[in-house]
Structure 1
Amino acid sequence: MTIIKVLYVDDEENNLSSFKANFRRLYEIYTANSGAAALDILSQTEVHVVISDQRMPGMTGVELFKKVKKLYPEPIRILLTGYTDIQALAEAINDGDIYRYITKPWNEIELNNSIQNAYDVFRTRRELKEKLAELQKTNDELNRFIYSISHELRAPLASALGVINLAKLDNIYNESEKGNEYWSLMEECCNRLDYNITSTLQYYKNSRYSEVKEDVDFNKVIHDLIAIHKLANTGSEQIKFEINVDQPEKFVGDVFRIEIILGNLISNAIKYQKPEEENKLIQIDVKVNRLVAVVTIIDNGLGILNDHLNRIFNQFFRVHNQKGTGLGLFIVREALAKLEGKISVESVVDSGTKFTIRIPNSA
């Protein structure tokens, strides 16, 4: 069982002796007759509770506790006062310099209960601090694990896709109808695994990374994202993109999350085109003002059933023959929530889908 260590500070020797006599059997007692002496003890000994008289020459109890809070913040501080100095007490309490105050002459039972309660607070704070340290350690280990796993998965995946591309160049890919089917299946599986890894990493990073605000050039961001997703999606070269960016105002926001949001919506617009559609089209319109950026992404693809519209942003909800991870639109919603943005969707089956997002401008 831990012995509670109490430091009592008072410039009157009789009070020091009385305190020690009353509580020496319950606690490990330290005494000091001035604020300077108390700070010296605290520099050498771990103390759980500090009790100080308010009116002392050289340094008042409140002044002592301000220094204790700065230098040794863990001990819980109790102030004894025989004077009604309301302003000093209110300031000390509001600033967190004292946990409780007790009027003099103190009552032994009241003071003992206060010491016990103060120690409970000390112990709870100490345990919380230890738990936070453990949590931070676990979080750091998880960060390293996620990075390692993503690297270890993507390296062989890139090699596999490289082999498939070599097979295409050497005409092995199309040697027979059955072989072509196998190669196509392998390529599709690799691309899907790559997409799954990317979605998982986006979800992880979005939930953990702090918001970083910087200038956003929507024209550049959108063209870069289209180039990336066209490379990742077979057949996307047949899709026509119409892009209109009206950005007369400076826009400041979190580029990382904006890229996650737009990237997922562009990827879906590409993926869910109708195979038989001859005029595949994706329209992206951006209007920026000093308060908000409004982005609409419209496709003439497969569309979404009305019954699904209220569920497409749910985690792991998937449509269209179970394509994807069911994380894309969920990540979009979560990233927008971090930016305090909004999203809406309109869709007609076999006609296409329109997503509208609003992102606040922090400029």
Structure 2
Amino acid sequence: MKPNILIIDDEAYNLDALERIFRKKYHIFRAENGKDALDIIRTQSIDVILSDQRMPGLTGVEVLKQSLEFQPDASRILLTGFTDLDSVVKSINDAKIQLYLTKPWDNTQLELSIEKAAEAAMMRKELKIKNKELETAYQNLSELDQAKSNFVIMINHELKTPLTSISSYLQLLKEEIHDGEQKTMLNGIEAGYDRLQKLIDDTLIIIKSQTDNLTLQKKSVSMKDTLTNIISSLQPELDKKSISLDFKAEDSFIDADANLITRALHELVKNAIKYSPNGEAININWSANKVSIKNIGHLDEEKIAKIFKPFYVDPSIMNHSNSTGLGISLSQAILKAHNTQLQISSQNNTVEASIQF
């Protein structure tokens, strides 16, 4: 499609001459005065406005200035005589004039100037369209993300009600059933219940953190005691893989939600145990308000990037694991609510997860 050019000049022979120069490459609109020019500007899409300065009624600068309201993306070029230069230069910013050319004009220079002006105008319009499309897409994504969060919260809420009933029935059955095989089956049901309950709780924490609705019950928390208790609870898993533990901790405190911070750190230590080879060592250190958990292993940059995506799920849960697979996402959500974040690095066959409080 040809760019649209509006040529404004009160002398018909100038309009004819300019139209002959540009009609092959451009769609031409023409006006002999400012009033007619503004009528065109209000009703047509114009890419370049080329106006003479000295005309009866409105001057070229006045027309170009008023055109800003209706054609903000158009390129504006002013044709002027030497005697008008002082007044033009003073007004050039008000009218956002990209270029002014003196009469008599050089055809080659004028053609080149119009070509560049048309390209610039069309690029501005295209950029505005693209920006609008991006804004719309972003708005749609935001609405979709909010709808997803609302849906997950609703589903979790609906699941909690029957789970409460299941829990009550399980307790009654445990009191009544004494047969060994039936108790084994009941234990399997209870394990499934526990996993589903944890999945709901983990998901709600992640969603609430993403929407800044996670409420913290902060108090002074001993990190040394917290990590000691976590290690103690995971000792069977350490023993199962013959993993040794090097644990060092300062006796210092942070202001945090004790239950949530314990859950976050528990997931990280558990993750280190899970991916450590049998018989290796894990190093856990707490000093200078920083937790560091190191284990033998390797993560490439692509895998690390995936880990930091919202709702990252450990693929290994597909292999009938008892975990929900949301451990890292859960830890990150809790840390976000505490105004900090998880850092993961991998070098020299060592993976380090660290948090600066």
Normalising by structure 2, what TM-score?
Answer: 0.58
**Cα distance, 1:191 vs structure 2:** 2.6
Pick closer, same or farther for the CA change 1:59–1:331 going to 2, 3 Å: farther
Query: Structure 2 matches for 1:207-286, cutoff 5 A?
Result: 222-223=216-217, 267-269=263-265
Which position in structure 2 is the counterpart of 1:139? 138
Pick closer, same or farther for the CA change 1:307–1:197 going to 2, 3 Å: farther
Give unmatched runs, 5+ long, in structure 1.
207-219, 227-234, 237-241, 246-258, 275-295, 346-352, 358-363
Q: Any conservation in 1 of the 2:61–2:91 contact (CA below 8 Å)?
A: no
Tell me how far apart the structure 2 counterparts of residues 263 and 177 of structure 1 sit (CA, whole Å). 31
What code does the residue aligned with 2:69 have? K
What code does the residue aligned with 1:305 have? K
Aligned: 1:316 with 2:316: no
**CA shift digits 1:95-148 (9 cap, x unpaired):** 681233323222222222222222222332333333333333333333343333
Q: Any conservation in 1 of the 2:45–2:71 contact (CA below 8 Å)?
A: no
**Cα distance, 1:51 vs structure 2:** 0.7
Tell me how far apart the structure 2 counterparts of residues 307 and 57 of structure 1 sit (CA, whole Å). 84
Tell me how far apart the structure 2 counterparts of residues 89 and 329 of structure 1 sit (CA, whole Å). 62
Which position in structure 1 is the counterpart of 2:191? 184
What code does the residue aligned with 1:223 have? Q
Pick closer, same or farther for the CA change 1:24–1:315 going to 2, 3 Å: closer
Tell me how far apart the structure 1 counterparts of residues 195 and 156 of structure 2 sit (CA, whole Å). 12
**Cα distance, 1:26 vs structure 2:** 3.8
**CA shift digits 1:215-269 (9 cap, x unpaired):** xxxxx9642799xxxxxxxx99xxxxx8869xxxxxxxxxxxxx9xx99757515
**CA shift digits 1:296-332 (9 cap, x unpaired):** 698xxxx622779x9999651699x895353456668
Q: Any conservation in 2 of the 1:313–1:333 contact (CA below 8 Å)?
A: no
Tell me how far apart the structure 2 counterparts of residues 314 and 193 of structure 1 sit (CA, whole Å). 25
Query: Structure 2 matches for 1:126-205, cutoff 5 A?
Result: 126-170=125-169, 171-172=171-172, 174=174, 176-192=183-199, 195-196=202-203, 199=206
Which of structures 1 and 2 has the bigger CA Rg? 2
What code does the residue aligned with 2:293 have? I
Tell me how far apart the structure 2 counterparts of residues 225 and 30 of structure 1 sit (CA, whole Å). 73
Pick closer, same or farther for the CA change 1:326–1:243 going to 2, 3 Å: closer
Q: Any conservation in 2 of the 1:314–1:329 contact (CA below 8 Å)?
A: no
Tell me how far apart the structure 1 counterparts of residues 56 and 35 of structure 2 sit (CA, whole Å). 11
Identical residues among aligned pairs (%): 23
The partner residue of 1:304 within 293, 297, 320 is: 293
Q: Which runs of 4+ in 1 moved over 4 A?
A: 200-203, 242-245, 262-267, 269-274, 310-315, 328-336, 341-345, 353-357
Pick closer, same or farther for the CA change 1:163–1:36 going to 2, 3 Å: same
Tell me how far apart the structure 2 counterparts of residues 273 and 306 of structure 1 sit (CA, whole Å). 10
Tell me how far apart the structure 2 counterparts of residues 96 and 74 of structure 1 sit (CA, whole Å). 12
SS in 2 for 1:71: coil
Tell me how far apart the structure 2 counterparts of residues 342 and 32 of structure 1 sit (CA, whole Å). 64
What code does the residue aligned with 1:128 have? L
Tell me how far apart the structure 1 counterparts of residues 132 and 202 of structure 2 sit (CA, whole Å). 34
What code does the residue aligned with 1:188 have? R
RMSD over equivalenced CA pairs, Å: 5.0
Pick closer, same or farther for the CA change 1:150–1:34 going to 2, 3 Å: same
Tell me how far apart the structure 2 counterparts of residues 141 and 104 of structure 1 sit (CA, whole Å). 52
Normalising by structure 1, what TM-score?
Answer: 0.57
What code does the residue aligned with 1:30 have? F
Tell me how far apart the structure 2 counterparts of residues 332 and 61 of structure 1 sit (CA, whole Å). 63
Q: Any conservation in 1 of the 2:198–2:324 contact (CA below 8 Å)?
A: no
Pick closer, same or farther for the CA change 1:270–1:92 going to 2, 3 Å: farther
SS in 1 for 2:101: strand
Tell me how far apart the structure 2 counterparts of residues 98 and 14 of structure 1 sit (CA, whole Å). 24
Q: Any conservation in 2 of the 1:48–1:74 contact (CA below 8 Å)?
A: yes
**CA shift digits 1:20-44 (9 cap, x unpaired):** 3433344332222333321111122
Tell me how far apart the structure 2 counterparts of residues 270 and 121 of structure 1 sit (CA, whole Å). 58
Q: Any conservation in 2 of the 1:161–1:187 contact (CA below 8 Å)?
A: no
Tell me how far apart the structure 2 counterparts of residues 73 and 66 of structure 1 sit (CA, whole Å). 10
SS in 1 for 2:36: helix
Pick closer, same or farther for the CA change 1:263–1:117 going to 2, 3 Å: farther
Aligned: 1:101 with 2:100: yes
Which position in structure 2 is the counterpart of 1:85? 85
